[in-house]
Amino acid sequence: MGRAAVVLGGGAGGLAAAERLRATLPADVRVVLIDRSFTPSLGLSTMRVLRGRRAPAELAATVRPAALPGVELVTAEVTGIDVDGRQVQLAAAAPVDYDALIVALGAELDTAALPGLDAALTSGVAGQFYTPDGAVALHRRIEALQSGRVVVLIGPPPFKCPPAPYEAAFLIADQLGTRFTGGAARVDVITAEPRPIPVVGTQVGDAVVSTLNATGIGFTPGKVATAIDPNARTITFADGDVEPFDLLAVVPPHRSPVAALLPALVNPGGWIPVDPQTMATATPGVWAVGDNAAVPLANGMALPKAAIFAERAAAVAADQLARYLGAGAPDTRYRGDGYCVMVVGENMAAKVAGEFLAAPAPQVLLRGPNRDFYDEKLQLERDWLARWGT
């Protein structure tokens, strides 16, 4: 059998990597893409579910072979990666040998990491908006809330899409409608961050806080939650403070799926450090892209976990991998350019965009809000569903 380039994870990063590899590598090099289910969904669509604009079934995509011609799709759980033997172990399937590897296994939610959160989610006093099913359940709970305090609780980074919890606060206020504007219900954001989206500096953070204030949403930074009491409906923080809530909308703690699979390659947080320009790991022949990678920025922080970065980094890693295997690919370098569109109300969105790899700090600004950015976000969703949707 010929040489093989293997991509682990069929989400935003893995799909883009496999597509680029197939376009770049000669036909005698196999491109193999492995995912446990090949049913990706867009995070930005999950926010539409939270607002009640979409049902989870409408987000369902299934990656079919015809969408990636020439790529071998293997549906299996990755259970081990032997970087010395260049082999991937799979549950209930034969191991797959590789000559070069791109790891794009994403990030997982870890609700058990915050004491009391699982019980609060089960009892219904808390909800989360990081999965389609979680978002639809939270939407129903907001619909049923007649009055009281909704707290949007944000833990320490990293978590996917740093603007998403702020968008959630705007969407929840919008859904509450006259319950919110009439004063029966309030929405407060409480975050471990020093300001919104701290990775991109004060202009963006201050603009988000101004928009929260203008909407009437409370904002408290610098509070690290240590426990939830679902019976008393309270959050306890590291500084000893206790805050009450009637409904909690929480960003679940995240954990890395590669910490156990690649213990020799990960940092103390469990993420894979990579060269910010090439996505190369410390191991020759192995690249990491997307949420499972730790891309260092000039300000000492890490590149946010977002699909836009996963896709662009995937193209870079694919070209670097193709060169490693001797193909005539360009020496593509990652520039860290990217953006995120944050809905702030009915048909209105702001755009956080810029160069994240700029030195000495990311050069990123918030523009809008306006209708054009909102339409742009809807178009992103339409394009993606047309590409992968069933």
Ligand X SMILES: Cc1cc2nc3c(=O)[nH]c(=O)nc-3n(C[C@H](O)[C@H](O)[C@H](O)COP(=O)(O)OP(=O)(O)OC[C@H]3O[C@@H](n4cnc5c(N)ncnc54)[C@H](O)[C@@H]3O)c2cc1C
Cα(126)–Cα(228) distance, integer angstroms:
10
Residue nearest to ligand X (CB): 11
- Judged by CB under 6 A, which of 19, 35, 174, 193 binds ligand X? 35
Question: Total residues contacting ligand X (rule CB under 6 A)?
Answer: 33
To 10 degrees, what angle do helices 43-50 and 132-144 make?
A: 20
User: Which one among 29, 78, 121, 248 touches ligand X, defined by CB under 6 A?
Assistant: 78
CB nearer ligand X, residue 35 or residue 174: 35
Q: What residues numbered 110-149 form the site for ligand X, per CB under 6 A? A: 129-130
Could you say which of 65, 77, 182, 263 contacts ligand X (CB under 6 A)? 77
Q: Out of 174, 193, 243, 291, which residue is the one contacting ligand X (CB under 6 A)?
A: 291
Going by the DSSP 8-state scheme, the letter that residue 242 receives in this structure is E
177 exposed, middle or buried (CB, 10 Å; 0-12, 13-18, 19+)?
Answer: exposed
Structure tokens at 135: 């978002």
The least distance separating ligand X from the CB of residue 313, rounded to whole angstroms, comes to: 9
Q: Which of 198, 290, 336, 369 binds ligand X (CB under 6 A)?
A: 290
Q: Give yes or no for residue 12 binding ligand X (CB under 6 A).
A: yes
- Residue 245 is a binding residue for ligand X (CB under 6 A): no
Q: Which listed residue (150, 164, 200, 288) binds ligand X by CB under 6 A? A: 164
Q: How many CA atoms lie within 13 A of 302 on its CB side?
A: 24
61 contacts: CB under 8 Å, gap ≥ 6 = 39, 40, 41, 384, 385, 388, 389, 390
Characterize the bridge pairing of strands 108-109 and 242-244. unpaired
Which stretch in 43-51, 172-180, 202-210, 221-229 sits in contact with ligand X by CB under 6 A? 43-51
Nearer to ligand X, 104 or 145 (CB): 104
- H-helix segments, the chain: 12-24, 43-50, 56-59, 117-123, 132-144, 164-176, 178-181, 202-215, 307-324, 371-388
Between residues 60 and 227, which has the closer beta carbon with respect to ligand X? Answer: 60
Least separation in angstroms between CB 232 and ligand X: 28
Return all residues near 113 (Cβ < 8 A) that are at least 6 apart: 253, 255
Select the span of 64-72, 160-168, 227-235, 263-271 touching ligand X (CB under 6 A).
Answer: 160-168
- Contacts of residue 42, defined as CB under 8 A and 6 or more positions apart, other chains included, come to 59, 307, 380, 381, 384, 385
Rounded Cα gap, residues 330 and 141, in angstroms:
51
C-alpha 331, offset from chain centre: 27
Q: Figure out which of the listed residues 257, 270, 276, 362 binds ligand X, where binding follows CB under 6 A.
A: 257
CB of 251 to ligand X, least distance (A): 9
Question: Applying CB under 6 A, which of residues 6, 7, 11, 366 lies at the interface with ligand X?
Answer: 11
- Among 306, 344, 349, 352, the residue binding ligand X under the rule CB under 6 A is 306
State yes or no: residue 68 binds ligand X (CB under 6 A). Answer: no
CA–CA gap between residue 336 and residue 358 (Å, rounded)? 8
Site string for ligand X, 315-354 (x = CB under 6 A): -------------------------x--------------
Binding residues for ligand X, per CB under 6 A? 9-14, 35-37, 40, 43-44, 46-47, 77-78, 104-106, 129-130, 160-161, 164, 257, 290-291, 305-308, 310, 340
